[in-house]
Structure 1
Amino acid sequence: MASSSSGAEAAAASLLKREARSERARLMSPVLLGLGIAACGIAQAILLARLLATLLGRADAGWAELAAAAALALLMAALGIAQERAQLAAGEDAKARLRAAAFARLLAAGPADDRAVGEKSALVVERIEALEGYFARWLPAAMLAVLAPLMVAAAAAIADPLSGLILFAGGLLVPVMQAITGIGAAQASRRQFAALQRLSGRFLDRMRGLPVLVLFNQQQAEAERLGVAANDLRRRTMRVLRVAFVSAGAMELIIAAVLASLAYQHGALVRGTHPAPVTALFTLLLVPAFFAPLRAFSAAYHEQLAARGAAADLAPLLDAPEAEGLLLEDVPPKVTITFQDVKLRYAPDRPPALDGLSLRVTAGETLLLTGASGAGKSTVLRILMGFRRPDGGRVAINGRDAMLLKPAELRRLCSYVGQRAFIFRASIRDNIRFARPEADDAAVEAAARAAQVMEFAAALPQGLDTQVGEGGFGLSGGQAQRVAVARAFLRDTPLVLLDEPTAHLDPGTEAVVLDAVRRLCIGRTAIVATHARAARKAFGQMLELQAGRAAGGGSRMAGE
């Protein structure tokens, strides 16, 4: 368990360091602006020291110094605004880049990523959102916490070496204090993010299944369970905030100690016997300028803790090696699929999904895969779509090893129709065009006619431009499946993969969808996984799978 935790911490640190290097150019702007604010603070302290000494009758300053101090105050405010904008820009840039990378990895993995939908959503939204403070506040604050106090302490040391030494010693106590208060804080932050991820994932999953909860009268019980999870998140969040409050209190204690030390050293100022009153006042007025960047560092400390917890969850996704392989020069017009003694096991403690399967589908032919659930039908389709790699054997397309291609290149070759078509909240036309966004209206309408979508769309108020709800609300199951078949027509690939395309349909609707599927397969290589008896009559070639092998232990080839 300890090695797993240390491994997660190392992966998180590596991810944050890599992303910090990518943001280095953007972070220089807020750091330079912060140094400008510190320089203005030093100059303003000199002017204010002369003005105060004048009030005590120990110096000679006038309206010019007062006007200069006011101008510096305005300049510092302007620099502060510019610094805040630069920090926000750095944070937004980092979030946009990380979110694009995480989303691209999730899309590339597809169904092979077994995380729940809610967990994936939490990764792309909450986890990356938690990293904004790391780039926008923590990194600039960490750099300024070293550079700006050194500049201020050097100015104090020039005026009075002992005062500069006191400021420097006080500054050294801040990271020590942060380290002490931060013991266990990173672990608490990770636990908080884990609780947030569980709550986010559970809430999203339950919202998607809200009709089921209502039908089984479980809405009140589920609300109570969500309340328990939310209360657990509240407790963990308060533990993280407790660290932030302790850190802030320790910072105030250090500032008070430094002020007391400087006041003791320059105590003669109160008695009016100090030999250099302007110097004494100058060193005292430098305390706010010295600790301002250290305050920002302390305030941003919890941002770093939160970022480490978020990065520990993101690192397995973002650090996973990218899929390697060859690229296709062109999509071939025809493909022949060959499996030779293909083996695949999803987990060591589970039986093999494929156990020496051999099959061959020649160009333009359709193979029907049948067999009981778990026989390996869907696994064949996942391999051809690049979502799984076989453990052994050979998968060939047109005689060449298909596993040498990048998974995305395999998906360029095929169109897929599953058991339930996912329909987006958009028009029917846009849902069909989703398969090929650059397609014109004529191509979309031709695909809709081929899939018999126009049979029901023509009766709708706006035809193909009729809006449908999320998840296909407003369409029947058969209508949604025909939209999915229309997508495959529009995509127009040489390989068609269908996984139970008529499941859950009544016999009349099944016949309509099968007719559209049959026309889709004409002239294309097609593999159809199904239990439906009607499909067995519609397609000639059939291979029955049993425990990941061709029934009977042999191999069968389409076209033989």
Structure 2
Amino acid sequence: MPDAREASLITTLRPWWRLLDRRRGRLLAGAGLMLLTVAAGIGLLALSGWFITATAMTGLALAAGLTAGLDVYVPGGGIRFFAVTRTVSRYVERLYNHDTVLRLLADLRGRLFGVMAGLDGRTLSRRRASDWLDRLTADIDTLDGLYLRLVAPAGVALLAILVLSGLLALWLPRAGLVALALLLSAWLWLTLGQARRGMTASRGQVEALEALRGRLLEHLRGLAELEAYGSLAAHRSRIEAIERRLQVDQWRLARVAALGSALAGLAVGATWLAVLGLAALAWEVGALSGPVMVLMPLAVMALNEALAALPMAFTRLGATRAAAERLNALEAARVQSAVVPRAASEVPLRGPLGISFEAVDLHYPGALQPALSGLSFSLPAGRRLALCGASGAGKSSVAQLLTRQLIPSAGRVRLSGMPIEAIDEAALRRRVACLTQRVELFDDSLAANLRLGDPEADEARLWRALSMVELAGWAQALPEGLATRVGEGGRRLSGGQARRLGLARLLLREPDLVILDEPFAGLDAPTAARLAARLDEWLSGRSVVYLVHQLGEVVDPPGIDRRLTLCEGVLCTDGQDVSG
């Protein structure tokens, strides 16, 4: 019966093993190729030893004047077969299994991206962006060894031990039992024993690496500020402390792995020596032929290849476990932060959506003061509101509440009279659209980035949307047109172009409630004025919330019916109608 630690490890890894199990056919095929490589190595060494010994004994018999013969073609062909098979199977195994791992990485990252996309703003605010990136990259990279370095090699080694011990038992039962006892004991140590000895250090290494990455990013980004305030040395000392802790863990893991490698070699050496001794005694009494006596220990010696990879992999099992625990925590956080109950199925009537905030409070975890406090206002359907305020006043929090990325700590948000948490998820995403200050663009074509707004949009609609934001002429002049890639994060575009591309994507969405956060940021005044005129016509018949620092900075958003000002999460204007 597994102890609590083992049960916890099994529980931790179970969700990720289920994900790997979706590619069971490929995993089994890859393990089969690994087993074929090991079997070919055993066959090559064992048959070579048998052939050399048989040849020598035949030569001695002929030199003594005895009549003797040996068929060299069959064993010679067998040796060539095993040699070629081992070479080809190893090459194919590496190629096939690494392709499988790349597919698994795509599965793992896709799953984790889906988990992170489901987290609300409150949960996301608890960690830095670098920490989330660490989950998506380093933790996933650690988990990819679950099959290739842990499960498959350990399973292949165990199966090879069982099969080889059985084959030895056919010639000499005692040799088979001794080999099974020694090699199985070694296998248990190289897996469970190494994992136990390296668990704490390898888990600590994962945590230290995450802390080091975060500290280094802070150090590099805030270098000027740290220097200006005389904190550079203190910050550097904290980084050095993490590095020392990491070095201690690395040194401990290296010693444990070296011990495992030494024990693996010792176990194989002791086993083939014991088998050789038993085989020699059997040969002495005529129970075995000389070539078979040599074949048996050489077959055991070939198992060294199957066991050699286990110590290092299982010494670092704690890192895999820690990565799985961190990713499982994300899954649990998504469940806890789910803002939509499963029964949410209400759909507002078609048309512009009215907005109502009723004594809404919002408090981020660990924040010194609430982001919003007692916020109450309403906006009739089809009207336009300008919500003003300095950075940090709470405007973005209002947008996240309206898109249900956050739920209020107190109070209620309604759309067309319905509690926002009761509205069907698909309907909400279809009816509400937001242009945030930071436009997220993917390393794909212009068309693909635009079709995030409407996957079914044809090229004619794409060109119309680009024309509305004055990007059509620019896109037509590009050699690849709509197929032009925008680069990672849209780095091939200027800030203004990226902003307008995001706006064009929103236009394709055709929402009923539009949230525009600084819609003309990064644009010159003439361009902003022309866009405002076009936007005014398109926004007709929709509810609109503009999030701006203050009116009159570049170009006022068109058609404002009402203006409210937020000051540190509290309304500091009476919200009177300003349309006249």
Which residues in structure 2 correspond to 1:331-370 (within 5 Å)? Answer: 332-347=350-365, 350-370=368-388
CA distance in 2, matches of 1:267, 1:427: 72
CA distance in 1, matches of 2:462, 2:215: 38
Deviation at 1:389, TM superposition (A): 1.7
The AA in structure 2 aligned to 1:287 is V
* Percent of pairs with identical residues: 27
The within-5 A match list for 1:155-554 is: 155-174=167-186, 175-198=188-211, 200=213, 236-237=249-250, 239-268=252-281, 275-278=287-290, 279-298=292-311, 300-302=313-315, 304-318=317-331, 320-321=333-334, 323=338, 325=342, 326=344, 332-347=350-365, 350-371=368-389, 374-405=392-423, 409-421=427-439, 435-436=453-454, 438-451=456-469, 481-501=499-519, 515=533, 518-534=536-552, 535=556, 539-545=560-566, 548=569, 550-551=571-572
Q: Which runs of 5+ in 2 are unaligned?
A: 62-67
Tell me: CA distance 1:179–1:60, structure 2 relative to 1, closer, same or farther (3 Å). farther
The 8 Å contact of residues 40 and 72 in structure 1, kept in 2 or not, is answered as yes
**Which of 101, 105, 123 is 1:91 aligned to?**
101
- Contact conserved, 2:191 with 2:310, CA < 8 A, in 1? no
Asked whether 1:68 is paired with 2:89, we answer no
Q: Residues 342 and 390 of structure 1 are in contact (CA less than 8 Å); yes or no, is this contact kept in structure 2?
A: yes
| Residue matched to 2:27 | 27
Q: C-alpha distance in 2, partners of 1:474/1:290? A: 54
1:91–1:353 Cα change, 3 Å = same
Shift in Å, 1:403 = 1.0
Q: Aligned AA for 1:30?
A: G
Please report how far the alpha carbon of residue 83 of structure 1 lies from its aligned counterpart in structure 2 after TM superposition: 3.5
Larger displacement relative to structure 2 (287-296 or 456-465): 456-465
3-state DSSP of counterpart to 1:129:
helix
> What amino acid is the match of 1:98?
L
Q: Paired residue for 1:121, among 118, 133, 149?
A: 133
1:55 is aligned to 2:56: yes
Q: Partners of 1:16 and 1:467 in 2: how far apart?
A: 34
Q: CA deviation at 1:46?
A: 6.3
Q: Measure, in 2, the Cα distance between the counterparts of 1:289 and 1:204.
A: 48
Contact 1:364 1:524 (8 Å CA) reproduced: yes
Give the drift of 1:366.
0.9
Q: Which moved more, 1:223-232 or 1:411-420?
A: 223-232
CA displacement at 1:156 relative to structure 2: 1.2
The letter of the residue matching 2:117 is: L
Q: Which amino acid aligns with 2:544?
A: A
Contact in 1 for aligned 2:105/2:144 (Cα 8 Å)? yes
C-alpha separation in 2, matches of 1:76 and 1:222: 56
1:100 match? 110
Aligned with 1:389: secondary structure? Answer: coil
Cα deviations across residues 81-120 of structure 1 (Å, max 9, x unaligned)? Answer: 4443443243223212101111223334375523433333
Distance 1:221 1:407, change over 3 A: farther
8 A Cα contact 1:452 1:516, kept in partner: no
AA of the residue aligned to 1:315: N
- Give the TM-score normalised by structure 1: 0.78
Distance 1:385-1:76 versus aligned 2 partners, 3 A rule: same
Q: What's the offset of the Cα at 1:55?
A: 2.2
Distance 1:449 1:37, change over 3 A: closer
Q: Count residues in correspondence.
A: 550
Mapped contact 2:561–2:578 kept (Cα < 8 A): no
Shift of 1:365: 0.7
Distance 1:327 1:318, change over 3 A: same
Query: Structure 1 residues 291, 405: closer, same or farther in 2, change over 3 A?
Result: farther
Give yes or no for contact 1:133–1:304 (8 Å, CA) kept in 2: no
* 1:541 partner letter: R
CA, structure 1 residues 165+555, in 2 after alignment: closer, same or farther (shift >3 Å)? farther
- Which piece of structure 1 moves more, 12-21 or 422-431? 422-431
What RMSD in Å do the two structures reach over aligned CA positions?
4.8
- Once residues 488 and 270 of structure 2 are traced to their aligned partners in structure 1, the CA distance between those partners, rounded to angstroms, is 62
Relative to structure 1, the CA distance from residue 156 to residue 11 in structure 2 (aligned partners, 3 Å threshold; closer, same or farther) is closer
Of 502-511 and 186-195, more deviation after overlay is shown by: 502-511
Deviation at 1:253, TM superposition (A): 1.5
Change (3 A) 1:475 1:22: closer
Distance 1:60 1:498 in 2: 92
Unaligned runs of 5+ in 1: none
1:139 pairs, out of 143, 151, 154, with 151
- Give the conservation status (yes or no) of the 8 Å contact 2:533–2:558: no
Name the CA shift for 1:384/1:258 in 2 (closer, same or farther; >3 Å). same
Q: Paired residue for 2:162? A: 150
